[in-house]
Amino acid sequence: MGRLGPMELVLILVIALIIFGPAKLPEIGKSLGDAFGNFKKQANKVTEEMKIDTSNNDDEEKKS
């Protein structure tokens, strides 16, 4: 699967404009941005928890 180029993005935007109308697009964009932001925040939280857990396991192994 190839990457999305500028023409594909414009086509997607035009289709979204036709389907949802110009009044709903900013609301949809904000909702998507919030969703991606929350996803990234949770993914970072899980990554940090895994790092902490891994470092705790390493410390326990050194003590043994």
Residue 63: what pLDDT? Answer: 65
Q: Which residues contact 27 (CB under 8 A, 6 or more apart)?
A: none
Residue 40: what pLDDT? Answer: 96
Residue 12 placed within a domain? no
Residue 3: what pLDDT? Answer: 86
Residue 56's domain spans which residues? 30-64
Residue 15: what pLDDT? Answer: 93
Residue 8 placed within a domain? no
Residue 54 placed within a domain? yes
Segments of the chain with pLDDT less than 50 = none
Residue 58 placed within a domain? yes
Residue 13 placed within a domain? no
Global pTM value: 0.59
Residue 47 placed within a domain? yes
The Cα-based distances of 30 to 9, 17, 26, 38 in angstroms read 18, 15, 6, 12
